[in-house]
Structure 1
Amino acid sequence: MIRLLWALSAHARYYLRRYMPTNIALDAIRTRRGLKWGTPAMLLAAPYFLAANYCVTLIEDGGPGWLNLLVLLFCWNALKFLIMGPISVVLLIRARMEESATHRRHRRALRPIEPAEPTTARTP
């Protein structure tokens, strides 16, 4: 039974990771080329919070109860984008530090070895 639940959750995670737009966007941001877009992507949280606020207003005015699921979904997606901003900055700093270290090592490896200067012994 646990094995079946584990398999179902793995398949559900794969499906959501593969086909849901916010997960696709966050996966693109996590790439090396996309890390620079993490901070601007934080701005995408604002429309999600506005949509959640609108749904809450509709619920309070007597709207259907299933809008609570949309509120939960909108808040979850907004939080994902809010959290990805600082994470992408940290990942970008780490990637640039690794790239500079690799570049520095590569430059050292290509630097020609200078011959040692001959030492001359002083004669008294």
Structure 2
Amino acid sequence: MIRLLWTASAEVRYFLRRYMPSNIVLDLIRTRKGLKWGIPAMLLAGPYLAIAFWCTTLIESGGPGWLHLVVLLCIWNALKMLAIGPVSLSLLVRTRVRERHARMHINQETRDEPQLPELTRSGQ
């Protein structure tokens, strides 16, 4: 039974990571080229919260109960978008520090290599 639940949860997680728009955006932001888009991606929390507010208004005026799931989903996605800003900023700083360290290490190695004298053809 536990094995079945484990497999089902893994499949659901795979489906959500692969096909849900917010997860696709988060995966793109976590790449090296996408780290700079973490702070602007925080603005996507606004529309999610607006949809949650709209659905809450509909529920209070007698709308269907399944809209509670939409509200929960929108709030969860808004929280994810708000969290990716500081996370991507810290990842970007860490990546730039590592890249700078690697460049300095490469420059130091090339500086320490002995220079071979150039061969000239003046003797021929």
TM-score by length of 2: 0.89
Instruction: Name the SS of the counterpart of 1:65 in structure 2.
Output: coil
1:64 aligns with 2:64: yes
Corresponding residue of 2:79: 79
The corresponding residue for 1:28 is 28
Displaced runs of 4 or more, over 3 A: 112-115
Aligned residues: 115
The equivalent residue for 2:19 is 19
Structure 1 residue 29: Cα displacement: 0.1
1:82 Cα deviation from its structure 2 partner: 0.2
Q: Deviations along 1:69-111, whole A, 9 cap, x unmatched?
A: 1000100100000000000000000000000000000000111
Unaligned stretches of 5+ residues in structure 1: 116-124
Q: Distance in 1 between matches of 2:23 and 2:4?
A: 25
State the percentage of identical aligned residues. Answer: 59
Provide the rounded CA distance (Å) in 2 between the counterparts of 1:112 and 1:7.
55
TM value normalised by structure 1: 0.89
Q: 1:112 and 1:87 mapped to 2: Cα distance?
A: 38
Gaps of 5+ in 2: 116-124
Provide the C-alpha distance between the structure 1 equivalents of 2:112 and 2:38, rounded to a whole number of angstroms: 41
RMSD: 1.3
